[in-house]
Amino acid sequence: MEYTFTAIIKKVKEGYIGYIAELPGANTQGKTLVETRENLKEAVSLMLQANKEINDKKDTDRTIREEIKVVV
């Protein structure tokens, strides 16, 4: 599955810092712009995977799970 997010990257003295606008907590840093972009991709992937695992453990007999499509 492929998603598109908004990366916000700022130049700082030590290199770059970045975060994903749509995912609070998906933050990173890097020495180069390329490194920061790659780190952001990894942060998003790990965050989505962790959230899925947490929610899968909360499953009960009364839970309805279904995919929804959202157009923004």
CB-facing half-sphere around the CA of 7: CA atoms within 13 A: 20
Tens-digit pLDDT profile for residues 38-71: 999 999 999 999 988 888 777 667 778 788 888 8
Output the pLDDT for position 59: 65
User: Dihedral (C-alpha) 29, 34, 38, 41: value to the nearest 10 degrees?
Assistant: 90
CA distance 44 to 6: 11
Domain boundaries, the chain: 7-57
CA distance 5 to 19: 10
Please report, rounded to a whole number, the percentage of residues in the chain having pLDDT higher than 70.
Answer: 97
Looking at every residue in the chain, the average pLDDT score rounds to: 90
CA distance 29 to 13: 12
The more confident residue out of 25 and 16 is 16
pTM: predicted TM-score of the whole model, two decimal places: 0.78
> Is the predicted pLDDT of residue 26 greater than 90, yes or no?
yes
